[in-house]
Amino acid sequence: MANVKSFLNLECGLTVPLLDLKAQFSAIRDEVMPALLAVIERQQFILGPEVEELEKAIAKLSATRYAVACASGTDALLLTLKALDLEPEEEVITSPFTFFATAGAIWNAGGKPVFADIEPETFNIDPAAVEAAIGPRTRAVVPVHLFGQMARMEDLLRIASGRGLVLIEDAAQAIGARRKIDGRWRMAGELGWAGAFSFFPSKNLGAWGDGGMIVTQDGALAERLRRLRTHGGLKHYHHEEVGTNSRLDTLQAAVLLAKLPHLGAWSAARREVAARYSEELSGVGDLVLPKVDQANEHIFHQYTIRTRRRDALLEHLRARGIGCAVYYPTPLHLQPCFAGLGYKAGQFPEAERASREVLSLPVYPELDHAAQGKVIDAIKEFFG
Ligand SMILES: *Cc1c(COP(=O)(O)O)cnc(C)c1O
């Protein structure tokens, strides 16, 4: 929970925080507060009209026919994976370099996580490694659109459809990101069997608490997900199957609806901040700057640099009051809870090297020129 705290509280008092949600709030306060008050006055807190309205808006944004809101990004993955009805020992391939929830959801849905290494330049799963990891028990692949740019969906789709596998996009960090495939822009969440979004407060579209959403083109899947999120039944006290309680609060839907019209401008502002970093930091020390795959429009959930002197740079920046963080310090195949899967250090060299070298810098839309200058100066000072 240290991370959650640092997003929300501990960043106060820093010279430049990693993320400044208070700045965002003060800019949109007059839009969000009346929307919240309207829900409170109506007292319809569970699956109120705002939830449906948000589902329609996110489906439209993602170019999908359906969207189903739920309690978190983790549940968006978990409910979708449950809808696969995995048999024991059936496998789901994913990246070892992602937030824990991706593999945790596979495990909790009864599947066996199988990892495939990443591409060093984008940090996204390597389609060739996915192909090599497919076995007789593989059912699905969960690519993660890490840090805000999409994985190579066209290659993954070709591999998955050739082998009869299902593709589930972990788009928790990539809402509104897109990729040009065969000359046409395709949205994060549009092309997989399903796409999972998170509205965790620090995500590009963040609620004031937990929240998530699944998008899909498959009407039968959407209906199944609606059932699973309300204890497996759409009619009261009639349960077709065992589901759970995983809904998006009406209050959170109201917050998200008020924020959604700003998302495009916020992502554009993040791209501008990123462009300045990439200009100013090019050639500094041994830094490797984030590479945008030319087919992608990146939404820069994170601006993540690499250096062999990562730990020393992190200490240097923290000492100067600059918020920065390591996403992710331990690849998932080396997590203690997955020791039983039998992976060893050295098996996924790119994910392991990324874990040692990455550092994410402040890249939020409200970051002003002067504050960003302090980050840049501190990094240049470090490399002397
Ligand atoms: C945030 C995140 C999740 C989980 O979302 P929650 O809403 O926090 O449950 C899953 N996958 C990735 C890649 C994430 O960044």
Task: Enter the DSSP assignment of 240.
Answer: S
Quote the pLDDT of residue 14: 82
Cα–Cα distances in Å, from 180 out to 152, 160, 176, 376?
10, 19, 13, 31
Quote the pLDDT of residue 20: 95
The total number of residues shown for the chain amounts to 384
Task: Report CA dihedral (290, 206, 223, 238) to the nearest 10 degrees.
Answer: 140
CB neighbour list of residue 74: distance below 8 Å, 6 or more residues apart: 101, 104, 105, 198, 212
In this structure, the residue with its CA closest to atom 5 of ligand 1 is 73
- Strand, helix or coil for residue 244: coil
pLDDT in tens, 15-53: 999 999 999 999 999 999 999 999 999 999 999 999 999
Asked if residue 312 has pLDDT above 50, the reply is yes
Cα–Cα distances in Å, from 37 out to 31, 40, 56?
11, 5, 22
Helices and strands (DSSP H and E) totals, the chain = 13, 12
pLDDT in tens, 179-206: 999 999 999 999 999 999 999 999 999 9
C-alpha–C-alpha distance, residues 57 and 69, integer Å? 11
C-alpha–C-alpha distance, residues 163 and 62, integer Å? 26
Quote the pLDDT of residue 24: 97
Task: State the distance from the centre of ligand 1 to the C-alpha of 73, rounded, in angstroms.
Answer: 5
SS3 content of the chain, % helix, strand, coil (to 5): 45, 15, 40
Q: Which of 75, 80, 99, 125 to mutate to test the pocket of ligand 1 (most atoms within 8 A of CB)?
A: 99
- Strand, helix or coil for residue 312: helix
Quote the pLDDT of residue 13: 66
Of the candidates 263, 3, 252, the residue with the CA atom closest to the CA atom of residue 148: 263
Of the candidates 232, 174, 163, the residue with the CA atom closest to the CA atom of residue 203: 174
- As a whole number, mean pLDDT of residues 210-216 equals 98
CB 9 within 8 A of CB 368: no
* Run of H or E including 4: helix 2-5
Task: State the distance from the centre of ligand 1 to the C-alpha of 67, rounded, in angstroms.
Answer: 17
In this structure, the residue with its CA closest to atom 14 of ligand 1 is 172
C-alpha–C-alpha distance, residues 18 and 291, integer Å? 20
Task: Report CA dihedral (158, 118, 171, 343) to the nearest 10 degrees.
Answer: 100
CB 118 within 8 A of CB 143: no
Asked if residue 282 has pLDDT above 90, the reply is yes
pLDDT band at 87 (very low <50, low <70, confident <90, very high): very high
C-alpha–C-alpha distance, residues 219 and 237, integer Å? 23
**Measured between alpha carbons, how far apart are the two ends of the chain, in Å?**
35
In this structure, the residue with its CA closest to atom 7 of ligand 1 is 73
Superfamily of domain 11-26+262-383 in CATH is: Aspartate Aminotransferase, domain 1 (3.90.1150.10)
Domain ranges of the chain: 11-26+262-383, 28-260
Asked if residue 11 has pLDDT above 70, the reply is no
Of the candidates 32, 43, 104, 101, the residue with the CA atom closest to the CA atom of residue 73: 101
Task: State the distance from the centre of ligand 1 to the C-alpha of 213, rounded, in angstroms.
Answer: 11
* Run of H or E including 225: helix 219-228
Task: State the distance from the centre of ligand 1 to the C-alpha of 277, rounded, in angstroms.
Answer: 26
pLDDT in tens, 113-168: 999 999 999 999 999 999 999 999 999 999 999 999 999 999 999 999 999 999 99
Looking at 3.50.50.60, 3.30.70.260, 3.40.190.10, 3.40.640.10, the CATH number of the domain 28-260 comes to: 3.40.640.10
Mean pLDDT, the chain, rounded, equals 96
Task: Enter the DSSP assignment of 287.
Answer: -
Task: Report CA dihedral (236, 240, 243, 248) to the nearest 10 degrees.
Answer: -50
Where b means 16+ CB within 10 Å and e means fewer, 234-253 reads eeeeeeeeebbebbbbbbbb
| Residues with a CB atom less than 6 Å from ligand 1 | 72-74, 98-99, 101-102, 144, 170, 172-173, 198, 200, 210, 212
Task: State the distance from the centre of ligand 1 to the C-alpha of 236, rounded, in angstroms.
Answer: 30
Q: Which of 75, 95, 98, 170 to mutate to test the pocket of ligand 1 (most atoms within 8 A of CB)?
A: 170
- Which atom of ligand 1 sits closest to the CA of residue 212? 7
Extract the tokens encoding 375. 């980050």
pLDDT band at 5 (very low <50, low <70, confident <90, very high): very low
